[in-house]
Structure 1
Amino acid sequence: MSRPTLGDQESENVRDAMAWGWISGTGSYVSAFERSLEQRIGRAFATVVSSGTTALEIALSALGVGPGDEVLVPALTFAAPAAAVLTVGAVPVLCDIDAETWTIDVEAARALRTPRTKAIITVDLMGHPCDYERLAELEISMVEDAAQAHGARTGKGPAGSFGVASIFSFHVNKAITSGEGGAVLTDDEELAEKVRLLAHHGMSPHHRYHHTVAGRNGRMTNLSAAIGTAQMARWDELVAGRREAARLYDARLNGLGFSPRPQRTGVLPSCWLYCVTSPERDAVVKRARHRGVDARAIWPALSDLPLYRPYARLPCPQASKVSRTALWLPTWSHLTPEDVEAVTEVMV
């Protein structure tokens, strides 16, 4: 479905980390990765952690989200945002998506807000930023989930620059990868200190083995950061490569009964995994996989899963509709026109 684009610098960084013996959660590549993220996104503080899911959990904990609180979560997303809310002891409240962007529906979120609403996780779904100007009107603390949105932008700034905190994932299927990994970014120094404290066992940075809160080991290893630092230097190249893959797919599938995902005017989305919809989605996926192409149906709507259905207080018809018609096609930054032709030939 997706492949990392790795080169000589990634290998050289890993060999360097190994030669010095810095292979755990401390080392020069960890701090270098954090500084490069701050510069790229334009946020004051970045803390790299072990995964995007860990980043969500720590961001929520640092904001004081816990038992008795509610957090609004889009009904169409990977399960990590809802799972993170449950992990910190709060209640996820599933919200339908907007038909024109597939991101969280602002008016649906407004209708679901209660005095117990402590935060909202705004997922930049498949690389499309949410409508942050309208979401700000809700006056709810936002955690931007930019896990799939490396390189996306709105007129107000890049993905990852919105909300009181934002998170990224650097899983191997992302445009920028460290194998596994994530990050929490913020402009709030006090919040950044809480994030770092929680990710380092709750141990005071000034008094070793003195634990001031119940934290966890959420650290990214220096080996992973060595890869991530090299990938950051290639950000523009890797993001552009996936956009070109999307352009090739668009051209190849035009007029063949597939609809590209919608896009809001004034937004430059990124391409995480190329996505289209088809009324014959399941048949298309079955045919492609039978012929050796790793096409996949997207996630089911969380509101349609038995585990999360009780957290949908209002119907989420748009999330269900998209989840039943959308599919992903193989996507990576060095996908060639020949690769795209081979994939699309088996779909029609």
Structure 2
Amino acid sequence: MRIPLSQPTLGSQESENVRDAMASGWISGTGPYVDALEGALARQIGRASAIAVSSGTTALEIVLTALGVGPGDEVILPALTFAAPAAAVLTVGAIPVLCDIDPASWTIDPRAALALRTQRTRAVIAVDLMGHPCDFDRLAELEVPIVEDAAQAHGARTSEGQAGGFGIASIFSFHVNKAITSGEGGAVLTDDPELAARVRLVAHHGMETGQRYHHTVVGRNARMTNLTAAVGAAQTARWEELVAGRREAARLYSTRLTGQALSPRPREPWASPSCWLYCVTTTERDAVVHRARQAGVDVRAIWPALSDLDLYRPYTPRPCTYASEVARTAMWLPTWSHMTPADIDAVAEALR
């Protein structure tokens, strides 16, 4: 593709950190860069603890396990999201319950979620979809633990705080298409010291800190490597710069696409979303995507609604009308932090 969907914004500090980690020999699932990344994340978001893990998906699995979610339990989550939250619920043996979205934000609809709550509901995974925070005040009415999936929401805010600071725990992804990346990787953040200890225990083979080979729970190896964290630590130090770069790309898109038959994704007045991938809708989405890709511009249709997939349809107790509608009409435009006005112009021209 002449213009890819996304690319990382890497600099000299990332390279220097990686060289240092390699020279030291600390490249596995422990090391000073893991510690540095965890500390920087906790400070950036304002939470008591951050535990670095191997991916955002793994972060969801680990936090559900640490919360005691398992067979027979139900977890409510939005029908419009990447598949990771639903897969994580199934991985721990629980039942995902797919919920429709609020058309004003594209995030999980609290009223619809309340109607889906049962005696078996153990948690809600609230996805800050494409950088737009959920309505956490209304979700609190469900009176079950909320896990905030802020994988796509680095730098997003509400009047109550920033993304990653809500719920009993939150998770981030540092996949290469995220504003802050370590290539792969993720993190769990929480203010609950007991939950933080359980997350770390499960992620480290269920092995007690300071008691090598003494396993107290069934754990797994979910650790982030020091080599990966070396990149992530440098990126986290550039948090504001990288978030601002994507916001500027969104601003330029909004200017360049004025007058075209494309609608930007909605936002609530109380939210200050971040820009993960700039998203627009059109009733001719598939034709536009096809022609843009023919021109070498990596425009992509968003994920299908999970409720429309054979794998997850059995977990859809009520129609997810809005999720399906958005999934049929929305597309992502190329977005990254060091995008230039010339890049934006090229995408806009391909869309015309």
TM range (shorter): over 0.9
What CA distance in whole angstroms lies between the structure 2 residues aligned with 1:336 and 1:298? 23
**5+ unaligned residues in a row in structure 2: which ranges?**
none
- TM-score, scaled to structure 2: 0.98
Are residues 1:208 and 2:212 paired?
Answer: yes
1:276 to 280, 295, 305: 280
Provide, for residues 83-128 of structure 1, a one-character-per-residue CA deviation record: whole Å limited to 9, x for no partner: 0000000000000000000000010000000000000000000000
2:151 to 147, 163, 171: 147
**Which residue identity lines up with residue 162 of structure 1 in the other structure?**
F
DSSP 3-state at the match of 1:207 = coil
The Cα of 1:206 is off from its aligned counterpart by 2.5
Name the structure 2 match of 1:157. 161
Name the structure 1 match of 2:295. 291
What CA distance in whole angstroms lies between the structure 2 residues aligned with 1:326 and 1:143? 26
Name the structure 1 match of 2:237. 233
What CA distance in whole angstroms lies between the structure 1 residues aligned with 2:331 and 2:258? 16
What CA distance in whole angstroms lies between the structure 2 residues aligned with 1:82 and 1:73? 7
What does residue range 52-67 of structure 1 map to in structure 2 within 5 Å?
A: 52-67=56-71
Name the structure 2 match of 1:170. 174
Name the structure 2 match of 1:316. 320
What CA distance in whole angstroms lies between the structure 2 residues aligned with 1:25 and 1:51? 13
DSSP 3-state at the match of 1:76 = coil
DSSP 3-state at the match of 1:92 = strand
**Which residue identity lines up with residue 212 of structure 1 in the other structure?**
T
What does residue range 6-17 of structure 1 map to in structure 2 within 5 Å?
A: 6-17=10-21
What CA distance in whole angstroms lies between the structure 2 residues aligned with 1:74 and 1:53? 15
What does residue range 1-348 of structure 1 map to in structure 2 within 5 Å?
A: 1-348=5-352
Provide, for residues 143-197 of structure 1, a one-character-per-residue CA deviation record: whole Å limited to 9, x for no partner: 0000000000000000000000000000000000000000000000000000000
What CA distance in whole angstroms lies between the structure 1 residues aligned with 2:26 and 2:181? 19
What CA distance in whole angstroms lies between the structure 1 residues aligned with 2:210 and 2:331? 50
Percent of paired sites with the same residue:
74
Aligned residues: 348
What CA distance in whole angstroms lies between the structure 2 residues aligned with 1:108 and 1:314? 9
**Which residue identity lines up with residue 54 of structure 1 in the other structure?**
T
DSSP 3-state at the match of 2:271 = coil
**5+ unaligned residues in a row in structure 1: which ranges?**
none
DSSP 3-state at the match of 2:267 = coil
The Cα of 1:207 is off from its aligned counterpart by 1.3
What CA distance in whole angstroms lies between the structure 2 residues aligned with 1:307 and 1:158? 33
The Cα of 1:346 is off from its aligned counterpart by 1.0
What CA distance in whole angstroms lies between the structure 2 residues aligned with 1:247 and 1:206? 50
DSSP 3-state at the match of 1:71 = strand
**Which residue identity lines up with residue 227 of structure 1 in the other structure?**
V
Provide, for residues 314-341 of structure 1, a one-character-per-residue CA deviation record: whole Å limited to 9, x for no partner: 0000000000000001100001110010
The Cα of 1:72 is off from its aligned counterpart by 0.1
- 4+ residue stretches of structure 1 with deviation over 3 A? none
What CA distance in whole angstroms lies between the structure 2 residues aligned with 1:313 and 1:255? 40
**Which residue identity lines up with residue 264 of structure 1 in the other structure?**
E
**Which residue identity lines up with residue 51 of structure 1 in the other structure?**
S
The Cα of 1:137 is off from its aligned counterpart by 1.4
**Which residue identity lines up with residue 104 of structure 2 in the other structure?**
E
